[in-house]
């Protein structure tokens, strides 16, 4: 399934847009037809919500089309249900997800020989008088762990009698301010602020609410709730219920309570839960057993039977359970592709994951997009986002150095 997942992307790229990249398409169809074409078809359909067969049919013609369709072997969309082989593949994919123990790797580590007093004085000097030395601010804040930044905040106050956050806000602007302030907040404070931004004002950023609540641990959610209450004197759960409705509200309310079961898989319980789709320690095991009982994959059921925010929420849960770094890589891609960049989403993901699993996310991004996260950020933010400056991009490189290999 891993190799098929990789090959499904160049297949899609070769067929989308104007014209067809025939050399790539021919290479994959010939080389993989007797190895793992079913796997590629399944990965293709799960990922792009369209069958490989149909895309070939629409983008090619004549004998060339007939030959390619023969190599492809079948139209998954027309079948409506999984082919038996495809169900077996989905089962194996969930089994692999349940068994795989991925070592999470951050891109930002604590600085050695850390001196919070020296950092506090250097930051004050960079902001004192006429003009601001952004290079010094970036060099310090973007090269310290979050715990070290909290020490700098406290030392800045005790040593200089000033509020570092207020000084930074007064000296920086636009996305550079958002990014630096985000780095200076604790993880709980940052998540609370992002939830507030997603809720307040006209409209709701449903994708941000889903992303945060689906991917945080119980401990992280409980800390976020406390930070939200402290900062805004309100209940996060109450604000979510005031701003959303229906089944979507019920899903978010359940998630924000931070009561999900966490731990190893209970296979006997997974067998029972697969028949009612209730929560249990390892959803991977539940989704695996669901395939066995129904001959269908949970991702396809969600895509076909649900819609709107409810569909997005459940699909995010499934994708996060299967491969969380891959989920974030996809979120980053969607934040930058097309016209305009979702700057808030870009900042939110990179700041929150830099000390958790951003190295893994970078690897998944490279594998699925055939381009490094660094190059993609550099091109997309400079081309379509007028608020990102070369200075801001230098912060990305400073904060996330190992993402730029």
Residue 294, both tokens:
């129904």
What residues does each domain of the chain span?
2-80
Identify which of 46-50, 61-65, 389-393 has the greatest average pLDDT.
61-65
**Tally of residues, the chain:** 405
What integer pLDDT is reported at residue 50 of this predicted model?
75
The model's pTM is: 0.77
Nearest-Å Rg of the Cα atoms of the chain is 24
Percentage above 90 pLDDT, the chain: 40
Can you tell me the mean pLDDT for 154-165? 97
Ranking 33-37, 54-58, 362-366 by mean pLDDT, the lowest is 33-37
pLDDT one-digit tens code per residue, 349-384 = 999 999 999 999 999 998 888 888 888 887 766 544
Can you tell me the mean pLDDT for 277-294? 68
By the 8 A CB rule, do 108 and 355 touch?
Answer: yes
Can you tell me the mean pLDDT for 2-20? 68
What is each CA distance from 117 to 69, 134, 141, 158, 349, in whole angstroms? 67, 19, 13, 10, 30
By the 8 A CB rule, do 251 and 243 touch?
Answer: no
Can you tell me the mean pLDDT for 268-292? 58
Residue 391 has pLDDT above 50, yes or no: no
Residue 367, both tokens:
């594998």
Residue 139, both tokens:
């060099």
pLDDT one-digit tens code per residue, 90-141 = 767 777 776 667 788 998 899 999 999 999 999 999 999 888 998 899 889 9
What integer pLDDT is reported at residue 214 of this predicted model?
94
Sole residue written with tokens 């309310």: 253
What integer pLDDT is reported at residue 83 of this predicted model?
55
Ranking 3-7, 113-117, 186-190 by mean pLDDT, the lowest is 3-7
Residue 402, both tokens:
């190992």
Looking at per-residue pLDDT, the higher value among 332 and 175 belongs to: 332
DSSP state letters, 199-235:
HSSSS--HHHHHHHHHHS-HHHHHHHHHHHHHHHSS-
Can you tell me the mean pLDDT for 223-248? 97
Closest CA to 284 of 100, 107, 36, 103: 100
What is the pLDDT confidence band of residue 42, given thresholds at 50, 70 and 90?
confident
Burial 290-313 (b: 16+ CB within 10 A, else e): bbeeebbbbbbebbeeeeebbebb
Residue 213 has pLDDT above 90, yes or no: yes
Ranking 31-45, 213-227, 306-320 by mean pLDDT, the lowest is 31-45
Q: Kindly report the three-state secondary structure assignment for every residue of 376-401.
A: HHHHHHHHHCCCCCHHHHHHHHHHCH
Q: Determine phi and psi for 185, rounding to 5 degrees.
A: -75, 155
Residue 210 has pLDDT above 90, yes or no: yes
By the 8 A CB rule, do 323 and 97 touch?
Answer: yes
By the 8 A CB rule, do 337 and 83 touch?
Answer: no
Topology of the domain covering 2-80: Annexin V; domain 1 (1.10.220)
What integer pLDDT is reported at residue 215 of this predicted model?
95
Residue 72 has pLDDT above 90, yes or no: no
Can you tell me the mean pLDDT for 282-301? 80
């Amino acid at each position: 399934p891993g190799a098929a997942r990789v090959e499904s992307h160049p297949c899609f790229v070769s067929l989308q847009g104007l014209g067809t990249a025939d050399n790539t398409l021919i290479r994959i169809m010939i080389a993989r037809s007797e190895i793992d074409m079913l796997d590629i078809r399944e990965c293709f359909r799960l990922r792009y919500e369209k069958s490989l067969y149909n895309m070939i049919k629409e983008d090619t013609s004549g004998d060339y089309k007939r030959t390619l369709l023969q190599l492809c072997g079948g139209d998954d969309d027309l079948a409506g249900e999984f082919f038996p082989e495809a169900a077996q593949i989905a089962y194996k994919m969930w089994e692999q997800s349940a068994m795989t123990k991925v070592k999470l790797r951050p891109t930002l580590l604590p600085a050695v020989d850390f001196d919070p007093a020296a950092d506090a004085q250097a930051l004050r000097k960079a902001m004192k008088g006429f003009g601001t030395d952004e290079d010094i601010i970036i060099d310090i804040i973007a090269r310290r762990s979050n715990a070290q930044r909290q020490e700098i905040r406290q030392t800045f106050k005790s040593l200089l009698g000033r509020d570092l956050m207020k000084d930074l806000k007064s000296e920086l602007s636009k996305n550079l301010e958002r990014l630096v302030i985000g780095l200076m907040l604790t993880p709980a404070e940052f998540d609370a602020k992002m939830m507030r931004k997603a809720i307040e004002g006209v409209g709701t950023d449903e994708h941000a609410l889903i992303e945060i609540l689906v991917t945080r641990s119980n401990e992280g959610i409980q800390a976020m709730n406390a930070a939200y209450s402290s900062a805004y004197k309100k209940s996060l759960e109450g604000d979510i219920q005031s701003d959303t409705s229906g089944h979507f509200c019920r899903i978010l309310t359940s998630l924000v309570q931070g009561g999900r079961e966490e731990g190893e898989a209970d296979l006997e319980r997974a067998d029972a839960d697969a028949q009612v789709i209730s929560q249990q320690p390892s959803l991977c095991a539940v989704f695996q057993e669901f395939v066995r009982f129904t001959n269908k994959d949970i991702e396809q059921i969600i895509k076909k039977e649900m819609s709107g925010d409810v569909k997005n929420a459940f699909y995010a849960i499934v994708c996060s359970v299967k491969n969380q770094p891959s989920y974030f890589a996809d979120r980053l891609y969607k934040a930058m592709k097309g016209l305009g960049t979702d700057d808030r989403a870009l900042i939110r993901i990179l700041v929150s994951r830099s000390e958790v699993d951003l190295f893994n996310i970078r690897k998944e991004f490279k594998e699925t997009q055939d381009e490094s996260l660094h190059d993609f950020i550099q091109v997309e933010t400079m081309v379509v986002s007028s608020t990102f400056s070369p200075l801001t991009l230098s912060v990305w490189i400073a904060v996330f150095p190992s993402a730029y290999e």
